[in-house]
Copies of this chain bind each other. A is one copy, B any other.
Amino acid sequence: MKQIPIDDYNQFKKEVSALKKSCYLEFFAENPGVFQIKKEKTISKNLERIFAAALKISNKKGFHAMTMRDLSKAANLSTGALYNYFSGKDDLLAMMQRHRRTITSRVLKGNIAVEKEPLNKLRAAIRTHLYLSEAMQPWFFFSYMEAKNIGAKERRAAVQGELNTEKLFAEIVDMGRDQGIFLTDNALMTASLIKAMVQDWYLKRAKYARRNIDVNSYARFMTAFIESSLLNPKFSTPSER
């Protein structure tokens, strides 16, 4: 997975946007016959419209409350046409969950792997997660809120995805502890708390927007707060930026 720079949000956003599109096509290539549609161009364009509409409506009143009529109107496609892109509402939900998970996993792993020092890894992990959930906020909000409303198999995948993300954080904290840079008696619990904080960013987006706190301010504050708790004073470095 190629790395996406994490010091410039605008640059990051552009690359995520490209990655999203390439994932549609990849999915299309890997699952021939799932769609009744032939042309890549058509499918890519319409999937994007469908997803955007589904996110907008679901995040306002819930996926289950969104009707196919709602969706067809917002996506500018008839209800009949929608069924060329997914086999039913459940299927649409599952597709969207998978799409978000795939992108998250790729971007996170890629960006963390680039860094070698625990402290830099931790900073990269936090900032990448924040940037990604900012660039795809409706997707993250949707995934979180609708996670329980899917079939058992898909739900297990969703839970597992969450645990994997947490594990990424935990491994970094663990490594830092082993090197004496971080002080903690429970790396996994530390990771849980960090995860809670990064999730708050996309779950309470409106609140932070009202207070004029953008993703960079949030990243700076959160990082400083965590490092102030976690860093071994013996190794203290000037704080980031």
| A235 interfacial contact with B, CB 8 Å | no
Q: With both chains docked as a complex, state the minimum distance between the C-beta of A161 and any C-beta of chain B, in angstroms.
A: 13
CB-based nearest B residue for A150 = B61
Query: Do A193 and B189 form a contact, CB below 8 Å, given A60-B148, A148-B60?
Result: no
Copies held by the complex: 2
Which one of B65, B200, B229 lies within 8 Å of A149 (CB-CB)? Answer: B65
Q: With both chains docked as a complex, state the minimum distance between the C-beta of A238 and any C-beta of chain B, in angstroms.
A: 16
Q: Is the CB of B229 within 8 A of A225?
A: yes
Interface size on A, residues (CB 8 A): 33
Q: With both chains docked as a complex, state the minimum distance between the C-beta of A97 and any C-beta of chain B, in angstroms.
A: 15
| A73 interfacial contact with B, CB 8 Å | no
Residues of chain A whose beta carbon lies under 8 Å from any beta carbon of chain B: 59-62, 64-65, 145, 148-149, 163, 186, 188-190, 192-193, 195-197, 199-200, 204, 207-208, 211, 213, 221-222, 225-226, 228-230
Given contacts A196-B200, A229-B229, 16 further A-B contacts (CB under 8 A): A60-B148, A61-B149, A62-B62, A64-B64, A64-B65, A189-B221, A192-B200, A192-B208, A193-B225, A195-B200, A196-B196, A199-B200, A225-B229, A228-B228, A228-B229, A228-B230
